[in-house]
Structure 1
Amino acid sequence: MNIEDFREYCIAKKGITEEFPFDEYTLVFKVMGKMFALVALKRLPTQVNLKCDPEYAEELKEAYDGDIIPGYHMSKKHWNTILIERISPQLTKKLIDHSYNLVVSGLTKKLKTELENLE
């Protein structure tokens, strides 16, 4: 998966915004104001950070040694850095979905209701 496909998949989800809160090279995707994905635009190979359940994160790092690593500049327990050009697009989409769903599950009841009511 390339960066354009990654972006398109992320922004197609409900309640998404994209911004550059840290610098002009780090694109952040948020659902209802909560971060679920970051992309380092100037790094090659393309690296993205996605939130992940801690146990699943360990399984992924073991199974995809070197292609999925502890989150760069993030909580190593809750975030993975994924070299998206080295893993399948299907797995990348699955990990985006996992990250998005984790963040949505942690939203307040009010924000979940707002998200559900979005067109």
Structure 2
Amino acid sequence: MNIEEYREYCINKKGVTESFPFGKLPDVLVFKVLGKMFTATDISSFKAISVKCNPDDVDILRETYAAVQPPSYMSKKHWNKIIIDHSIPDILIKQWIDDSYDLVVKKLPVRERNKLKES
């Protein structure tokens, strides 16, 4: 997966916007669903992406895959950093992006979730 494929995959999900919200980290591209972040990456290097994870799976994924590590800036209980070193198939990375998106959507108010379904 490259930066263009990553961006295209994320931005095509329902209700998703992209932005550079961190003034002190100007190269960090963040994807949000209805204002809530579900993945991010540094576009200057694209060495890794961060995805939200089920807390029950965070440690299992880190133990199973060397390229899955604790994130630098997000909650280590709810997020994983995926090193883009081609050791993990793109299909699995896309599944983790999907899982992250779904976790965020599940936490949205019912009214917001219904907006997504209607769009």
- Tell me the residue number matched to 2:41: 39
C-alpha displacement of 1:113: 1.1
Residues 2-32 of structure 1 show CA distances to partners (whole Å, capped at 9, x for unaligned) of 1111111101110000000004200000001
Amino acid at match of 1:63: T
C-alpha displacement of 1:42: 2.5
Amino acid at match of 1:42: S
- Tell me the residue number matched to 1:55: 56
Residues 66-85 of structure 1 show CA distances to partners (whole Å, capped at 9, x for unaligned) of x1101221100000000133
- Tell me the residue number matched to 2:4: 4
1:102 aligned counterpart, secondary structure: helix
CA distance in 2, matches of 1:93, 1:42: 21
What is the count of residue pairs matched by the alignment?
116
Residues 48-105 of structure 1 show CA distances to partners (whole Å, capped at 9, x for unaligned) of 100000121111100102x110122110000000013331101100100000000000
CA contact (8 A) 1:49 1:72 kept: no
**Where does the alignment leave 5 or more consecutive residues of structure 2 unmatched?**
none
CA contact (8 A) 1:84 1:92 kept: no
**Where does the alignment leave 5 or more consecutive residues of structure 1 unmatched?**
none
% identity of equivalent residues: 47
> Runs in 1 of length 4+ with deviation above 6 angstroms?
none
Q: Please, what TM-score do these two structures have when normalized by structure 2?
A: 0.92
- Within 5 Å, give how 1:29-108 maps onto structure 2: 29-43=31-45, 46-65=47-66, 67-86=67-86, 87-108=88-109
- Tell me the residue number matched to 1:17: 17
